[in-house]
Chain A
Amino acid sequence: MNARRIGPMLLAALVAVGCSTVPQRDAALENARVAVDGARTEPLVTTFAPVELRAASDAFYQAEATWRDLGDADRIRHLAYLAQQRAEIAQQAARMRAAEAAVASANLERDRVRSEARAFEAQQAQREATLAQMQADAARQSAQNAQTQAAIAERRADVSQQQAQDAERRTRMLEQLLAELNAQPTDRGLVVTLPDMLFDSGRADLKPGAVRTIERLAEYLQRNPSRGVAIEGFTDSVGNDAANRELSERRAEAVRMVLIDLGVAPSRMVVRGYGKAYPVASNDSPEGRQLNRRVEVVISEDVGRLSARSPRTER
């Protein structure tokens, strides 16, 4: 070996060493390795950012190759930095696309909820409309009911007016009957006097003309079913007292029989013969005696108040 050649060779070796370094652990490369491995093992990244992940991996392989080939330390740091940043880009791109996908599905969800809300509102409106319809129907029904009630009340008013008219007519009829019977009000009740001339002289048989009066009496009693009747016979003072009492009683009894024939219940009637007692006129004149010969029909307020004459009520 020529000693003169050693100098240039040494120089060349020194120059070569100056441009490259011995491979050793490089901090920047380790950071890049951690970042790229983190991206590779992140499912979100492999799913949503495969292109960016590939770029980061390629950048890392380039940096690692340069390191293995004993490349320039500054260049290794540079390439490692590019790889690390690309790994971070992959991470961010993955999150962005995941979020975009979530926005898309959330928008679908929101549209679904919105249409649900609209359907609910429509349903609500339908329900309210139905309710309003029901209320309207109910109002119409109650108006109809009120109308019906009014009609019923009107008819009732008609009926009660009719009844009032009937009652009035009945009252008038009764008054007329009483007037025809020439009934006299007394403290014992209404008194209808059947005069002597309605009977055969000295006998208890009623003349046909008496029947009309007794018919009216019967009609009045039938219209006033709660009233009782006392039929009392009287004579003048001529003749035997016992005979007079018997005659007066038989005349009263005759009237009672006719009233029974005309439909008046026997239980409503009592018969008494007073003879010459209780004269209504003087027995001294023929006119007075004729007035004393009579049958009085006393119509009391009710059957239970049929009372016999007391001496005090003598007239």
Chain B
Amino acid sequence: MDSKPWKAWIAVATMAALVLGGCATAPAPTEQIAVSRAAMDDAISAGSTEYAPDEFRIAQQRLNAANEAFARREYRLARQLAEEAEVDARLAATKARSVKAQRAVAEVRESIRALKSELTRR
């Protein structure tokens, strides 16, 4: 067992390299950034800049941060940020649509109330 001690060092180095590589390197999250970008576009078309401005701003900041990390080739961080930006954007879009739908309810109910009061006044 002690015939080749240098082999043990090679094994340790290889393992450390693998572990460290697993921690530090990752594939470029090109696809995830595209998905987040699309979610962002959907949030804008849903009117989130007007109806969910806080959520929209957070999503935008995260997407920007993801792009910056991507540019620095910090792909692991870029992927995380892009994934978070995607759910942020989806939340912004959903909240904007929810607010609009609730306003629509209020408007229709108001128009019903106006119609009814007009009916009873005659």
B5 shortest CB reach to chain A, Å: 6
Known A-B contacts A96-B97, A106-B109; A89 and B90 likewise in contact (beta carbons under 8 Å): yes
Q: Is A307 an interface residue (CB 8 A)?
A: no
Chain A: minimal CB distance from B35 (Å): 13
Interface size on B, residues (CB 8 A): 37
Interface status of B8 (Cβ within 8 A of chain A): yes
Task: Annotate B56-85 by CB proximity to A: 1 below 8 A, 0 otherwise.
Answer: 000000000000000000000000100110
Cα of A99 to Cα of B107 in the assembled complex, Å: 12
Report if A15-B112 is in contact (Cβ < 8 Å); known contacts: A85-B91, A103-B105.
no
Indicate if B31 sits at the interface (CB-CB under 8 A). no
**Residues A66-95 near B (CB distance < 8 A):** 72, 74-75, 78, 81-82, 85-86, 88-89, 92-93, 95
Q: Are B91 and A106 in contact (CB under 8 A)?
A: no
For residue A16, CB closer than 8 A to chain B, the reply is yes
Give B103's nearest chain A residue, CB to CB.
A99
B residues with CB within 8 A of A: 1-2, 5, 8-9, 11-12, 15-16, 19-20, 22-23, 80, 83-84, 87-88, 90-91, 94-95, 97-98, 101-102, 104-105, 108-109, 111-112, 115-116, 118-119, 122
CB < 8 Å: which of B16, B87, B119, B122 contacts A11?
B16
| Contact between B80 and A78, CB atoms less than 8 A apart | yes
CB within 8 Å for A106 and B108 given contacts A81-B84, A85-B91, A95-B102: yes
Would you call B109 and A92 a contact (CB within 8 A)?
no
Contact check, A82 vs B9: say whether CB atoms are below 8 A apart: no
Choose one: A16, A75, A110; the contact of B19 (CB below 8 Å). A16
Chain A 233-248 residues near chain B, CB threshold 8 A: none
Contact B23 A113 (CB under 8 A): no
Residues of B within 8 A of A100 (CB): 101
Q: Give 7 new A-B contacts, CB below 8 A, not counting A8-B11, A116-B119.
A: A4-B8, A8-B12, A12-B15, A92-B97, A96-B97, A113-B116, A120-B119
Q: Taking CB as reference atom, which chain A residue is nearest B84?
A: A81
CB–CB B15/A109 < 8 A:
no
Chain B interface secondary structure, helix, strand, loop or mixed?
helix
Interface Cβ pair total, 8 Å cutoff = 94
Q: Could you say which residues of chain B place their CB within 8 Å of the CB of A12? A: 12, 15-16
Q: Is the CB of A92 within 8 A of B112?
A: no
Tally of contact residues, A, Cβ under 8 A: 38
Partner of A113, one of B80, B102, B115: B115
- CB contact list, A168-192 vs B, under 8 A: none
In the assembled complex, which residues on chain A have CB atoms less than 8 Å from the CB atom of B20?
15
Q: Which residues of B contact A2 (CB under 8 A)?
A: 1-2
**Cβ of A5 under 8 Å from chain B:** yes
Residues of A within 8 A of B22 (CB): 19
Nearest-neighbour CB distance to chain A for B12, whole angstroms, equals 4
Residue from the list B11, B12, B98 in contact with A96, Cβ < 8 A: B98
